Structure 1
């Protein structure tokens, strides 16, 4: 039986991470099971001599999740969970979403390699790039692929973008309206992916053989856009939800504001049920509009945001 194509209204149906009860295990499962947003790399940067950039397929990430599933179940049911929590909470800035994403992937890479569940060995991380004495950036992860005998550079990004027509990469914009998918890809291509050789602490000077952009997260479609067609670069199994214009009183009126709960910071990854408190007072009255941000309508994530800012950014 062929599985139906996920849509914003049934995205939660295709959420294998929801089977886990411990929050950080659920986050880790999300990071593995969520596909890369891209089905292929789009060359959006000005013409220049840059190396080829690759993205992992959705089937690759599904295979990693399947291979690691038994280990996820162990982390969810045994004291091994402490290994995961200690690892994440002792990393720099664990409360920032990007650092949390990197920490989760780094734990999987380290733990999975130690258990023989994948061939990727971390040989360097957060490699500083210099121009003279000035730091100009860093590389997220440099791995050795023991299966293919290649040194790989993985550059990571976790993005929660709202889309607007015509849904090109520049039309997917973040809560910070200066951030969009095209800008992130251009930055990766012209900054981090230009490096050929790096110096490592334990492995000396190594040459990068292959480059992967790992871009995950959630996308949000406008609530009044029901004829969305996936562009060929966007993975159809990527988590897709809805966003509401804060001034759209008609569609907002269809929401039950009495049960709409604002998300805590880490819930951009996965929902924490222990934050659900029916006795918690509303942060707004029925006659007022919720502030911009991520919310849960029961278990379904949604974003409320001023449409004006998104549309202005999308037209630039």
Structure 2
């Protein structure tokens, strides 16, 4: 099954905030998953779910007042993220969600554990990102979170979405979710009742195609980017690495004159993302 691209009115409230870190936090909470549904051709060994877009919108609305406070006085968030020594965006995203989950006046979750290791003897079986008690549903939930950027190729089938490291594919990540990360039925003496993948970031469509039949599982309520091996004519500028979560409110670099691999952006007349890749880094294009 496939669907044509439409042009929805995007819900992007993170763009109103001035402080870059607060913009990142707002994006981490408010943005929808990159997938609307679990692909039908994914073989599910251990069942998991995706949150509906409306859930993230509600979480944002409940937290908006706090975000505005942090935009004026961001030091608590800055101090919290300063504990993270890694520069990996995926870990930054996880820690932003952790900060939000710890502020339990703004959401229905009671955090029961973070980065819970499952060990059998000398063997580590896996690690659970977040386990929490949902006080609305009265159920214990296990969340695995991921920040991913995938470039679609060919007919945009599940196996044709590649990360910047081409061994990191969307199909491989979803398979890892269902076979490994969601294998556990309990954590910290709590029986897990629901399992959710929180998968944010961005998907990119090939710029050398004019029309697409998107798989139904691609979430088109969020902004899709483009990718290509040619330099576009629009006045893009190159985003700093941290801006892959959300561009700073002001332009962070000069308009691109010469191009290196990376994510480029312009915001007029509408926000547009372009992932530039040198052709020498690609292979097996279909």
| TM-score, structure 1 normalization | 0.80
| Residue 229 (structure 2) pairs with residue 292 (structure 1) | no
8 Å contact kept, 1:152–1:211: yes
| Residue 19 (structure 2) pairs with residue 34 (structure 1) | no
| Distance in structure 1 (CA, Å) of the matches to 2:28 and 2:44 | 32
Deviations, residues 95-148 of structure 1 (Å, cap 9, x unaligned): 21011110111111111x1x2x21111111111122431223211000111111
| Residue 200 (structure 2) pairs with residue 216 (structure 1) | yes
Which secondary structure does the structure 1 equivalent of 2:202 belong to?
strand
Larger Rg: 1
Sort the Cα spacing of 1:177 and 1:239 in 2 relative to 1 into closer, same or farther, 3 A. same
| Residue 64 (structure 2) pairs with residue 69 (structure 1) | yes
| Distance in structure 2 (CA, Å) of the matches to 1:304 and 1:90 | 32
Which secondary structure does the structure 2 equivalent of 1:235 belong to?
coil
C-alpha RMSD over aligned residues: 2.5
**Counterpart among 198, 221, 243 of residue 267 in structure 1:** 243
Report deviation, 1:307.
4.9
| Distance in structure 2 (CA, Å) of the matches to 1:108 and 1:150 | 19
8 Å contact kept, 1:164–1:171: yes
| Distance in structure 2 (CA, Å) of the matches to 1:186 and 1:44 | 11
8 Å contact kept, 1:164–1:310: no
Which secondary structure does the structure 2 equivalent of 1:61 belong to?
helix
| Distance in structure 2 (CA, Å) of the matches to 1:59 and 1:169 | 25
Deviations, residues 33-79 of structure 1 (Å, cap 9, x unaligned): 2101222223656574x3x21110011111111121111111112x2
| Distance in structure 1 (CA, Å) of the matches to 2:243 and 2:216 | 29
| Residue 89 (structure 2) pairs with residue 97 (structure 1) | yes
Q: Which moved more, 1:234-243 or 1:294-303?
A: 294-303
Matches within 5 A, 1:224-235: 224-235=208-219
| Distance in structure 2 (CA, Å) of the matches to 1:304 and 1:58 | 29
For structure 1, the 5+ residue unaligned runs are 200-204, 285-289
| Distance in structure 2 (CA, Å) of the matches to 1:47 and 1:294 | 33
**Counterpart among 286, 299, 305 of residue 277 in structure 2:** 305
| Distance in structure 2 (CA, Å) of the matches to 1:272 and 1:73 | 16
Higher relative contact order (CA 8 A, sep 6+): 2
8 Å contact kept, 1:92–1:99: no
Report deviation, 1:277.
4.7
Which secondary structure does the structure 1 equivalent of 2:167 belong to?
coil
Deviations, residues 272-308 of structure 1 (Å, cap 9, x unaligned): 2566355x9x773xxxxx2221123456331111457
Aligned residues: 279
For structure 2, the 5+ residue unaligned runs are none
